[in-house]
Structure 1
């Protein structure tokens, strides 16, 4: 599987402009670009201008990331304690059963 290419805003604009003069198929072949991606860029540009072509990455606030990691850590601790409690409860039941049988 190949690596995913990243296009800058200027490259996307160049491709859209070139497609107007050279044709969409020719331009897509030249840049080894799928028609679906070309039409997505064109749609984004028509509806939002250049801003529509900017990367849509969603960055997570470092403080939120730290809180999420702490939450996961605490969930693991609670799960471990719940498992330990369940094992101890089963052992107590078996010990009590053995005592009752021994009487």
Structure 2
């Protein structure tokens, strides 16, 4: 069923982080309902909105990193493609920034 996807450890960790965030945000929302607020995003958002936007950005960053891996080898004169762990860390940091300041 899932043969089309490359299930590596970084992919599993990324999806595990997504699941944990969804569970955590659900519990947080039940305990403390959110209100709209204006951050640096161009619209008023709730925690759930920022999580959704952040997850989209994180997924696209990971896809871009994987898609540009071969080109990065040429740009930076690397012997091998850069590790996808780098994209996981960067995407989680961007997600945290969007959740906090967005």
Larger Rg: 1 or 2?
1
Q: Per chain length, whose mean CA-contact separation is higher, i.e. which structure has more relative contact order (CA < 8 Å, sep 6+)?
A: 2
Instruction: Give the structure-1-normalised TM-score.
Output: 0.29
Structure (1 or 2) with the greater helix fraction: 1
Instruction: Give the structure-2-normalised TM-score.
Output: 0.29
